[in-house]
Amino acid sequence: MSTATSVTIDQFERMIDRGAFTGRSEQRVELIRAELRSMSPIGVDHENIVDWLLEWSFDNVDRKTVRIRCQESIGISKLETIPQPDIAWVSRKNVRGRPAPEDVLLLIEVADSSLGFDSGEKARIYAEAGIRDYWIVNIPQRRLIVLREPGNDGYASRIEHAAGAVVSPALVSASALMVTELFSCLEGHGS
C-alpha cells in the first residue's frame, strides 16, 4: 500500500512560500506529477556544462524576444508538475509568473547521474506538455540528445549527436552549437 500524498501546484507553492524547504543543505526539490522529488546534487562537470550553455545562450539569442532561465521552474499545470530544467529559453511575451510549456522555445537538461530520469520520465512529461525542442546533454557519453515532435506518447524524433556535430535550435534563430565545443569545458576534469 502506497503512503505517498499527492501535492497540487498550489500546495507546492504555499509550501515554498512558508519555507518548507529552507535550511536543508543542498536539497533541491521538483514537483513531478503531483509528487515531491529530490533532485540529484550538482557536480563540477554539470556546473561547467551549465556555465558553458549559459554563455552560449546569451551570445546567441535576441534578448529582446528571448529570456534565458537557469535552473528556474516552468509550470505544467495539466500534469501538476513544476520541473527546474538547467536551461530554458522562453518567449519574452510572458515576463510575469512561471513560464508555461507554450512559452518554452528550447529546454535543456544536463545529465550525468540523472540521465535515466531526464531521458525517460522527464522526456515523457515534456513531450506530453508540448515542449517542442528538448535537449539532453549526456555527460558520461559526451553526446547531445535532441528530442523534437512531442506527443502524448513521447517524442517522435530523437537524434544523438557526437563530437563534430553541429546543432541549431528549432524555434529560435541562433548560431549553431558545436558539440565538440560544448564538451571542451570538461577537458582536464574527470567524467
Count Cα atoms within 13 angstroms, Cβ side, for 71. 14
Cell of 162: 557526437
Distance of CA 121 to the CA centre of its chain: 13
Q: Residues near 102 by Cβ (< 8 Å), separated by ≥ 6?
A: 130
pTM of the full structure: 0.84
For 175-182, what is the mean pLDDT? 94
Quote the cell numbers at residue 81. 508538475
What does the pLDDT read at residue 187?
66
Domains of the chain, CATH where assigned: 42-184 (3.90.1570.10)
CA dihedral 59, 62, 65, 66 (to 10 degrees): -20
Residue 67 contacts residue 43 (beta carbons within 8 Å): no
pLDDT in tens, 24-55: 555 677 767 767 777 677 789 999 999 999 99
- What are 111-157's pLDDT values in tens digits? 998 899 999 999 999 999 999 999 999 999 999 999 999 999 999 99
